[in-house]
Amino acid sequence: MQIYNINQHQLKDFPFNLNSSLSDLLKKNFSYNQNIINSVNEIINIVKANGDQALIDLSCKFDQANFTTFEDLIVSQQEFDQAEKSLDLQVKQAINFAFQRIKDYHLKQLPKDFSYCDQLGVDLKNSWLPINRIGVYVPGGIASYPSSVLMSVVPALVAGVKEIVITAPSSNSQINPAVIYASKICGIKKIYKIGGAQAITALALGTKSIKQVDKIVGPGNAYVAIAKKILFGEVGIDMIAGPTDVMIISNDQSNPNWIAIDALSQLEHGEDSKAFIVVDNLEFANKINDAINSQKTNLSRKNIIEKSLKNSAIMVIENLVNAIEIANFIAPEHLQLMVDNADFYVDNITNAGAIFIGEYTPEAIGDYVAGPSHTLPTSATARFASGLSVYDFLKRRSIINCNQKAFNNIAKSASIIAKCEGLTAHQLSIDIRNL
């Protein structure tokens, strides 16, 4: 990982006074290859034209499956039972533990309805309702993620969503038993062995055998993200997810080996993952870099990490307080704080998907058992977006009730504004009631 020294002058008008290679690295935003966009559009059109048969054919093509009928795409009751029976007891206990913690956290997010009668006699209400039907995409391929089931499904359950279906790419026509078990304890009845853009298209538009959903959530690869982007509007989506990232701000009293493995834990996700580490001591930066180089050799995804390290950097600054400005520019998906007076940093860093405080709160603990959903805004979208929550599965309704007296109290101002806008029918709709 490259180490960069940043002086006070370079911090002014950050990041535009930086070394050009670091500036380019920090400003580099995730963009999708046009070839992938073209492929996704082609897949969408194929699914539109051929429905269920397209899902069978595309699953065989991209996931090396051997499906022949649509029933082959559905996880059977036997597979549900076998997953629970075959899965290691400790894994099941860990999944159950995580389920309960995630549920407990999201129960506290449930918003309350309110109603009141204002001083002019208008009755006003705000009420919350769950979305009817949700599709959850669970990634597969390079890895399989039972944690993504819990982090996407549990907030929907807490919100009161009645119908939830899952799609996940298969491997050798099978779904990871841990994914099936996590789905089962969430009460999921239907899992489709479908991945990629074809899964998103089926959920967004529906086919003969798959009912259209109202919203799609869950992370995926570039094909999944592009399909969600193209089909947004046909269906609601949670976010357009790019590659994962982590930022770590640390003083030189922290353990460099811990910082190194925390960075590597994000970099192993994919070749386009990123890690940014900010410290105030060059010697300490070198210790972290040495630890990264040492630890990566023993990791199963060393080849992926070697490539994602090229997207990453260690920054050395004179005063760690200036890391606040850096963090607000990067807007990291995950932010780890290993500093004194962490509350000061929390209060002043406004752009971060999730914040992990102290040496004993690695980002990985948030991936599995802390409680909040690990589906978080990527590619600097933490500037305006939040992580997945109960709110993503709820709709708000405004309810307005005027009797004649209340109407008369507010109608004149409404009529004046309608006239100002040149909307004469609007004005007459109001004025006719006073004729």
Residue 94: phi, psi to the nearest 5?
-65, -40
**Could you identify the residue written with the tokens 């406004």?**
350
Beta-bridge partners for 277: 248, 314
123-130 and 394-401 beta bridge pairing: antiparallel
As a whole number of angstroms, the distance between CA 370 and CA 381 comes to 22
pTM of whole model > 0.95? no
Give Rg (Cα) of the chain: 25
- Residue 51, number of CB atoms within 10 A of its CB: 19
Omega of the bond leading into 15 within 30 degrees of 0 (cis): yes
108 Cβ contact list (under 8 Å, min separation 6): none
Q: Order across the sheet with 394-401: list the strands.
A: 114-117, 123-130, 394-401
As a whole number of angstroms, the distance between CA 8 and CA 326 comes to 12
3-state secondary structure the chain: CEEEECCHHHHCCCCCCCCHHHHHHHHCCCCCCHHHHHHHHHHHHHHHHHHHHHHHHHHHHHHCCCCCCHHHHECCHHHHHHHHHHCCHHHHHHHHHHHHHHHHHHHCCCCCCEEEECCCCCEEEEEEEECCEEEEECCCCCCCCHHHHHHHHHHHHHHCCCEEEEECCCECCECCHHHHHHHHHCCCCCEECCCHHHHHHHHHHCCCCCCCCCEEECCCCHHHHHHHHHHECCEEECCCCCCCEEEEEECCCCCHHHHHHHHHHHHCCCCCCEEEEEECCHHHHHHHHHHHHHHHHHCCCHHHHHHHHHHCEEEECCCHHHHHHHHHHHCCCEEEEECCCHHHHHHHCCCCCEEEECCCCCHHHHHHCCCCCCCCCCCCHHHCCCCCCHHHHEEEEEEEECCHHHHHHHHHHHHHHHHHCCCHHHHHHHHHHHC
So which residues are the catalytic ones?
A: 333-334
Q: Are 279 and 260 in contact (CB under 8 A)?
A: no
- Residue 191: closest CA among 236, 249, 152, 138: 138
- Residue 10, number of CB atoms within 10 A of its CB: 19
Domains of the chain, CATH where assigned: 2-30+242-384 (3.40.50.1980), 34-237 (3.40.50.1980), 402-434 (no CATH)
Q: Are 231 and 402 in contact (CB under 8 A)?
A: no
Q: What is the pLDDT along the chain (435 residues), one digit of tens a residue?
A: 999 999 888 888 787 778 778 888 887 766 678 899 999 999 999 999 999 999 999 999 998 899 999 999 999 999 999 999 999 999 999 999 999 999 999 999 999 999 999 999 999 999 999 999 999 999 986 567 999 999 999 999 999 999 999 999 998 888 999 999 999 999 999 999 999 999 999 999 999 999 999 999 999 889 999 999 999 999 999 998 888 999 999 999 999 999 999 999 999 998 999 999 999 999 999 999 999 999 999 999 999 999 999 999 999 999 999 999 999 999 999 999 999 999 999 999 999 999 999 999 999 999 999 999 999 999 999 999 999 999 999 999 999 999 999 999 999 999 999 999 999 999 999 999 986
51 φ/ψ sector (left φ>0, alpha ψ -120 to 50, else beta): left
